[in-house]
Amino acid sequence: MQIVFLGTSCAKPTKERNHSAIFLSYGSEGILFDCGEGTQRQLTIAGIKPTKITKILITHWHGDHVLGLPGLIQTLGMSEYDKTLKIYGPKGTKERFASMMKSTVFEERVNVEVVEVNGKFYDGSKYSLEAEEIEHITPTIGYRFVEKNRRKINLDFVKNQGIPEGPLLGELQEGRTITWKGSKISSKEATHTVKGKIICYLPDSIPSTNSLKLAQDADLLICESTYSSSMEDKAEKYKHMTSKQAALIANQANAKKLVLTHFSTRYKDTYELEEDAKDVFDNVVAAKDFMKINL
């Protein structure tokens, strides 16, 4: 599992920071959180093929989070994209997406399925996705990615038993008992459980009960922090979070690591924001465009 930050600025891009977009690579799937202007170029620079994207999770319909959609979809159409692109978002997403797609002529179309979500909206064999409404000046949702627990082979045990690589190990990983050289071998003795990872993404918003709910026990909490706490009044006016407020959520939710993003262009570097957050939460880092995190 790898997270790549494609854009970490707020409403305006800078020379160093693009509009909001975060790419999660998980096995054969690619999940894109938001799609600000220029996202497809950021994907190219990062060496990520746009056709890897299987789901796009839109948090809200401010331009700096969605204006990259038409260009990205056009590129997918010219790249023989043969999957159904699933786009999820808050209430109003279907109407706004339809209006956006009418604004441009597309020579090549891709199959797109648009779904407005709240609560758990995807429950696959390997992970689930949840969304909750959070408070901003337009309908906005945060997201929670929950990897399912999985079984991992106890290598020393299977080596001592002489069990070869192949289908039998797969059976054990699926939780089934096998027969090897006349003896029953249970999954419980041949494997151990690896707890799944949790990733939370809190975009433009102010702290709320649902923010804590989404962030609870997250291995990685990605949170907007447009301002430092010295500008809390401005943050409150525009319903944005300060870096200290993001850190308080991480602390209260028992998150393991906090990554700050969505920075106001007034900050030439992120030192003030990081130090502000570290007053209440130690394991914090400010994201940069093309920063990668492996989980």
> Per the confidence metrics, is the pTM higher than 0.95?
no
Q: How far apart are CA 138 and CA 192, in angstroms?
A: 45
Residues 56 and 103 in one domain: yes
Q: Give residue 225's pLDDT.
A: 97
Residues 181 and 39 in one domain: no
Q: Which of 169, 192, 215 is the last residue of a domain?
A: 192
Quick one: 162 exposed, middle or buried, by C-beta within 10 A (0-12, 13-18, 19+)? exposed
* Tally of helices (H runs) and strands (E runs) in the chain: 11, 18
Residues 119 and 263 in one domain: yes
Radius of gyration of the chain (CA): 21
Q: Give residue 126's pLDDT.
A: 94
Range of the domain at 179: 151-192
Given a contact cutoff of 8 angstroms between Cβ atoms, the answer to whether 145 and 129 are in contact is yes
Our measurement of the distance from residue 277's CA atom to the centroid of its chain's CA atoms, rounded to an integer in Å, reads 21
Q: What dihedral do alpha carbons 144, 3, 111, 97 form, nearest 10°?
A: 60
Q: How far apart are CA 263 and CA 268, in angstroms?
A: 10
Residue 91 has phi, psi (to 5 degrees) of: -55, 135
Q: How far apart are CA 171 and CA 75, in angstroms?
A: 41
The span from the first CA to the last CA of the chain, in angstroms, equals 5
Q: Give residue 40's pLDDT.
A: 96
Q: How far apart are CA 78 and CA 84, in angstroms?
A: 15
Structure tokens at 249: 């959520």
Quick one: 268 exposed, middle or buried, by C-beta within 10 A (0-12, 13-18, 19+)? exposed
Residues 265 and 184 in one domain: no
Q: Give residue 77's pLDDT.
A: 92
Residues 210 and 175 in one domain: no
Residues 165 and 201 in one domain: no
**Which residue in 64, 204, 276, 289 is the catalytic one?**
64
Q: How far apart are CA 49 and CA 43, in angstroms?
A: 7
Q: Which of 132, 161, 192 is the last residue of a domain?
A: 192
Tell me whether strands 258-261 and 220-224 are parallel, antiparallel or unpaired: parallel
pLDDT in tens, the chain (295 residues): 999 999 999 999 999 999 999 999 999 999 999 999 999 999 999 999 999 999 999 999 999 999 999 999 999 999 989 999 999 999 999 999 999 999 888 877 799 999 999 999 999 999 999 999 999 999 999 999 999 998 889 999 988 989 998 999 989 988 899 999 998 999 988 899 899 999 999 999 999 999 999 999 999 999 999 999 999 999 999 999 999 999 999 999 999 999 999 999 999 999 999 999 999 999 999 999 999 999 9
Identify whether 64 is a catalytic site residue.
yes
Nearest to 21 by CA among 1, 148, 45: 45
- If one counts every other C-beta atom within 10 angstroms of the C-beta of residue 164, the result is 9
Q: How far apart are CA 218 and CA 208, in angstroms?
A: 16
Q: How far apart are CA 294 and CA 215, in angstroms?
A: 19
Tell me whether strands 55-57 and 29-33 are parallel, antiparallel or unpaired: parallel
Residues 160 and 245 in one domain: no
Residues 28 and 80 in one domain: yes
Residues 27 and 38 in one domain: yes
Residues 29 and 126 in one domain: yes
Q: Which residue has the tokens 């906005």?
A: 140
Overall domain count for the chain: 2
Look up the CATH number of the domain holding residue 113: 3.60.15.10
Which residue type sits at 82?
D
Q: How far apart are CA 262 and CA 226, in angstroms?
A: 6
Q: Which of 160, 192, 224 is the last residue of a domain?
A: 192
Residue 66 has phi, psi (to 5 degrees) of: -135, -10
Residues 87 and 41 in one domain: yes
Residues 178 and 107 in one domain: no
